[in-house]
Amino acid sequence: MKPFTFSNRVLGAAVGVLAVVYLYLAFTLEEFTAVSVPVQPATLPKWLGAVLLVLAAVLFFQKQEDTGEQAGSDGDGDEASKTGGGAPARPAAARPALGRLADPRHELALFAASIGLYIALLEPLGFLISTTAYIAATTWYLGYRRHWANALVAVGVSAVLYFAMSDFLRVALPTGPLPF
């Protein structure tokens, strides 16, 4: 039900590893001796690493809370499905589902990869081409059927953003092979 959710054991261990690596890096920071300073650049990092290690241990041994209890202060993924405005639960095709893959984990990985591709192509292809292509492709993939509207939005949004930034505000976005 919840992709990428792990037990406190796993999370504690992961945070612990992060703390150890960070502590190692903190201890490799050179002492600053040229001018006398009361607090070394490595001092706070060492303390932070140590505190994080302790917190990781606490988390590791903490008993698992109910998953339902996890609603964080800034809107948790699952809570929303309960507040979904009276619509029937997920399985029914009450509204067009996003995406095409059965496993949400694959879907998320693919989505992250698509953003990566967009970022990688932003400068070589220029803002206009890459953004238009990205919007059009993603919208189509996610299952939007009105292709003309899609094309219009893709071209329109990229063009408006591009010309507003580069001509009006004089912020140079990558142009790519296009002459403007």
Which residue from 107, 151, 159, 163 is in contact with another protein, where contact means CB under 8 A?
A: 107
**22 interacts with another protein by CB under 8 A:** yes
- Select the residue interacting with another protein from 13, 20, 59, 159 (CB under 8 A): 59
State yes or no: residue 39 binds another protein (CB under 8 A).
yes
The tokens describing 173, both together, are: 């976005």
Under the criterion CB under 8 A, does residue 27 sit at the interface with another protein? no
* CA 174 – CA 121 distance, rounded (Å): 10
Among 81, 106, 147, 167, binds another protein (CB under 8 A): 81
Q: Annotate each residue in 157-176 with x if it binds another protein (CB under 8 A) or - if it does not, as one string.
A: xx--x---x---xxxxxxxx
Q: How far is the CB of 20 from another protein (least distance, A)?
A: 13
117 forms part of the interface with another protein (CB under 8 A): no
CB-count exposure of residue 151 (10 Å: 0-12, 13-18, 19+): middle
Residues 1-20 that bind another protein (CB under 8 A): 2-6, 11, 15, 18
By CB under 8 A, is residue 129 in contact with another protein?
no
Nearer CB in complex with another protein: 20/153:
153
